[in-house]
Structure formats: C-alpha cells, structure tokens
Amino acid sequence: MAGLLKKKKNREMGEIPTASMADIAFLLLIFFLVTTTIDVDTGIGMTLPPKLEEDQEPPPVRERNMLKILVNAQGQVLLEDQPSAIPRIRGEVKKHTLNEGRDPNYAETMSRAIVSLKTDRQTPYNTYIEVLDEIWMAYFEMWDAEARRMGYSGYDAYRTYIEENNIEENEIREKIKAQISIAEPEPES
C-alpha cells in the first residue's frame, strides 16, 4: 500500500533551457551589425532661394551691401573681382557684416549685409564647399563672439540654453543673419 502512496514527483515544471539565450542574442547582434550602417549625417546646411517667377526681378541690392565671391572654372577665387586666397574669405565676410556703414565699400548695416557666391559650371565641387565652409565659419565665429558678449561661454552654450528652455527665437542669428545668396546660374548658351 505504501507503494501506491508514493508521491509521484511531478516533473511538470519543465524549464526551457536558457543556456543558449546568449547564443541567440549574439546572432541577433551580428545580424544588426552586418546589415546596418551608421550614416554620417553631418554637412553644411543651406536654404536655397525660392524660384523666381517669369517676370519677377530679383530684389534690388546696393552694390556695397553685397560681398561678391566668384569661383571660376580653374578653382580660383575672386573676392570683389580681386583674385584672393581662400583663407582671406573668413576675415572679409566678418569685416563686411560687422561694418555697420563705416567703410563705404562694405555693408551699411548687419541686416543688409549679403554674401553672394557664384560658380561656373566647371568649378570643382570641392572648391565650392571649401569657400562655402569659410563663409559659414565666419558666421559661426561672429555668433560665438556675440554669445560671449552676451555672457555665455560660446555659441554652443547659447544654443543649448535656448533649446532647453524652448525659446523659439534665436536672438544671435536674428541679429547677425547668415545671408548667403547663391547667385542665379548663367543661362545655358
């Protein structure tokens, strides 16, 4: 009788063997490593000018308010029709924007200062980016100086501040507007 009352050890608590969990995880990881790419999404941001209608004229700009930069087919830079080295661009853009009417050859006010960039069809893209880079760096440096004047450690600090406090307006960029005009291309001859 004692044999019948022997408690059957219920082996119903069958466990899923978790020993291979790590293997499965490794496999999934290798899959993702192989199929995905960490895309480099850095670059120079620009806003193109809107398309002009047929009979619309571009808005008039005084000669002095526009800093003309032309890059020709050989990759040479002409700053205000003078051949120039690329590193000079940064200083000239800053001088032009911060002029505030002092020098009659440069801009009247900060809000009217425009930098015009024109290229030929055979201009190397590399040179165009180099020049555009210099122009943007000039603005970055001006914004940085303005942020320090306002009491921040730099422009990045100011940006972090407005992002954290959800402030819509970027005062520095409103004051020193980055007005880079990509000139209308020559009509096909």
Partner 1 sequence: MSQHFQKKTAKSQPTIPMASMPDIIFMLIIFFMVTTVLRETTVQVRTLLPQAEALTKIEQKRLISYVYIGPLRLQNNQLGETAIQIDDALIEEVGSIRTVMYRKYLEQPRLIVSIRADETSEMGVVTDVQQELREAGTLRINYSSRPELSN
Residue 123 binds to partner 1 (criterion: CB under 8 A): yes
In the list 3, 17, 50, 151, the residue contacting partner 1 (rule: CB under 8 A) is: 50
Residue 166 binds to partner 1 (criterion: CB under 8 A): no
The two beta strands, 66-71 and 77-79, are: antiparallel
The residue type of 117 is: L
The residue type of 178 is: A
Residue 16 binds to partner 1 (criterion: CB under 8 A): no
The token pair that represents 176 in the structure block: 């020193």
In the sheet with 114-119, reading across from the earlier edge strand, the strands are 82-84, 77-79, 66-71, 114-119, 180-182
Nearest distance from C-beta of residue 101 to partner 1, angstroms: 27
Residue 167 binds to partner 1 (criterion: CB under 8 A): no
The token pair that represents 57 in the structure block: 């004229």
Is 143 exposed, middle or buried (CB count within 10 Å of its CB: 0-12, 13-18, 19+)? buried
**How many residues are present in the chain?**
189
- Select from 23-31, 62-70, 81-89, 98-106 the region that touches partner 1 (CB under 8 A): 23-31
Q: Which is nearer to partner 1, 52 or 61 (CB)?
A: 52
Q: Which residues bind partner 1 (CB under 8 A)?
A: 18, 21-22, 24-26, 28-29, 32-33, 35-51, 119-126, 128-130, 132-133, 136-137, 139-140, 182, 185
